[in-house]
Amino acid sequence: MFRNQYDTDVTTWSPQGRLFQVEYAMEAVKQGSACVGLRSRTHAVLAAVNKAASELSSHQRKVFRVADHAGVALAGLTADGRVLSRFLRSECINHSFVYDAPLPVSRLALRLADKAQVCTQRSWKRPYGVGLLVAGLDETGAHLYYNCPSGNYFEYQAFAIGSRSQAAKTFLERRFEGYNDYTPEQLIKDALSAIKETLQGEKLTSSNCTVSIVGRKDDGTMEPFEMIDAKRIQEIIDSMEAAEEAPAEPSAMQQEEPGTDAAAPAPMDI
């Protein structure tokens, strides 16, 4: 990214039809710590990397509860994310007060997108430099949305944002087709596995990640949006590592009885 004569304010178009300040805000999302979201028919899970600014500081929160039925994970400028999560919380409270019912997740994502879009159309404002994964539960099931600084929003089965998120997306793309039938435990494990892909060799522990879940139980009652405690996360991580270290079962070729000659492989053309 570099400065040019078309990025002095957000309402100036370049000859190529681009709004550079909006693109800069989207670049800020790519520089933030990674966040992952995935959902089944009845549950939605959000996970985020706890990244400290330095060894002497604590990490900033990346996952926020906005209502009993919804929460957000953010990548980018955390201060902007706090303001937007407070806005979402107010929208949920106002809707519940007026209609005595929770705000549908699709409408929640739409109101957030409308608020972000206004900042791309006023010269005295700047775009919010944060991307949000909105996860929630309503009458139609579990939902996951990604809200972009440009004001666009998309619904996903699974998605990842932030730095090194492409590795997590590749992992999710290989497995998302079965997510509708996943149990909450399976969703959490895949969320942790996707987060692990973004760490580039750093060991995954309960101290460097946050996981939250919302969903509906088998009896139809709602499980409110909650952060999973560190002890349970570490137990899940330990079980995943134990499963990876378990020796694989011998293949059929390895189990072949001694004395039988297998056909020699054909030479490979190089």
pLDDT recorded at residue 58: 83
Q: Which residue from 136, 116, 149 is spatially nearest to 67, judged by alpha carbons?
A: 136
Tokens of 64: 């926020």
Domains and CATH numbers, the chain: 20-53+66-239 (3.60.20.10)
pLDDT recorded at residue 52: 80
Tens-level pLDDT at each residue, the chain (270 residues):
555 788 888 888 999 999 999 999 999 999 999 999 999 999 999 999 998 877 778 888 999 999 999 999 999 999 999 999 999 999 999 999 999 999 999 999 999 999 999 999 998 999 999 999 999 999 999 999 999 999 999 999 999 999 999 999 999 999 999 999 999 999 999 999 999 999 987 899 999 999 999 999 988 889 999 999 999 999 999 999 888 877 655 554 455 455 545 444 444 343
Q: Which residue from 106, 113, 119, 104 is spatially nearest to 153, judged by alpha carbons?
A: 113
pLDDT recorded at residue 117: 96
d(CA 69, CA 71): 7
Q: Which residue from 76, 84, 71, 142 is spatially nearest to 113, judged by alpha carbons?
A: 84
Pairing outcome for strands 130-138 and 158-161: unpaired
pLDDT recorded at residue 250: 54
